[in-house]
Homo-oligomer: A and B are copies of this chain.
Amino acid sequence: MSYNSFGQLFRLTTWGESHGPAIGCVVDGCPPRIRLSEADIQPWLDRRRPGQSRFTSQRAEPDQVRILSGVFEGETTGTPIALVIENVDQRSKDYSDIRDRFRPGHADLTYELKYGARDYRGGGRASARETAMRVAAGAVARRVLGEAVRIRGALIQIGPHAIARARWDWNEVDANPFFCPDPETVPVWEDYLGSIRKAGSSVGAIIEVVAEGAPPGLGAPVYGKLDADLASGLMSINAVKGVEIGAGFASATLRGEENADEMRMREGEVEFLTNHAGGILGGISSGAPIVARFAVKPTSSILVPRRSVDRFGSEIDVMTKGRHDPCVGIRAVPVGEAMMALVLADHLLRHRAQNPDAPDRPRLPRN
């Protein structure tokens, strides 16, 4: 029920504002006796860290994570794991210009309408800074899932420029500042995003996350469906406006015989000949790769003046000064991976609870 918690059995609770002293989270329900240290978490945070290229925010945050509880002698104990990251680069400054103004496309207005108050410094709780804790907790979730489950994400579209799926190469993803799996698209995006940045504008993006090796049977009918929880988790990321599984919206245009994935046997296990379902049937994982995609809108913190209003009901023009992120979708890639890991770890525990003798590998139940 908690507004700032995600998951049921493997459960993340985050706290902290962009310009407070720190941000942090509590990971509750983690199984005991899993080896865990800051070194398991930090590399994932480093991938999300701002200021690593000219295409992302220039905020300089080392994002050094500390484990404050739940780990003893290098292993989890089953008690809550508290993680904390100090805010270093808050840039104390004069906020009088944004204190009373609502930036179009931002949560400024809705926080004010809901709570009658908000921490306006750097977006407060609405800042993408919160997603650092998702990535940190996602790193713990990966440890719970184990080596057999591989979760990877990639940016597949910036503005109108989509990759060519035929050229998809996972090895390319970490070799460019965009998490782009298609090397030929990288220079296209560099040019395009460079011009967007110079124009003081921004643009949206689409991210794809794939989990391979997840056991079948994760998810549960009818409101605990794996895809329903993935949809919730991905939609809760800042600026996300759409989520799809497998063929997604394109499945609306398909005929039944095109869409349904046929099955054959291969080495004693069921094999799907296609994966329009994105690895989920009836809300339950089938053993095929789990494929989710989500759309990130362009940030509205741009250098172009826009019409708005202020807290006193005056009509004004608003223009964001300072740091500027031409494509917030880039840094959403590690965040999307983290949400996938969190959902899968949670459902792995839920599945075990109800099905203690659940199979680890896809197999037919009673031969």
Contact = CB atoms under 8 A, between A and B. Distances in A.
A357 to B, nearest CB: 8
A322 interface: no
A222 B20 contact: no
A206 B251 CA distance: 9
Interface residues of A, number: 165
Interface string A13-24: 111110011111
- Chain copies in the assembly? 4
Nearest to A354: B31
A282 interface: yes
Interface stretch (A48-56, A100-108, A166-174): A100-108
Q: 4 shortest A-B CB distances, which residue pairs?
A: A107-B282, A105-B260, A242-B244, A353-B353
Interface stretch (A38-46, A57-65, A175-183, A303-311): A303-311
A78 interface: yes
A82 B24 contact: yes
14 contacts: A2-B11, A5-B11, A14-B222, A16-B82, A72-B117, A79-B119, A102-B270, A110-B284, A252-B297, A256-B302, A309-B364, A311-B364, A350-B353, A352-B356
A92 interface: no
B32 A355 contact: yes
B14 A80 contact: yes
B112 A263 contact: no
Interface centre among A16, A262, A298 (most CB of B within 10 A): A298
B114 A256 contact: no
Contacts of A227: 235-236, 240-241
A28 B9 contact: no
A295 B219 CA distance: 20
Interface in A246-288: 246-265, 268, 270, 273, 276-278, 280-287
Contacts of A349: 353-354
Contacts of A79: 4, 15, 17, 119, 124-125, 221
A358 B111 CA distance: 12
Contacts of A284: 107, 110-111, 113-114
Given A159-B255, A251-B241, A268-B313, A78 B228 contact: no
Given A104-B260, A264-B315, A354-B78, A3 B248 contact: no
A359 B113 contact: yes
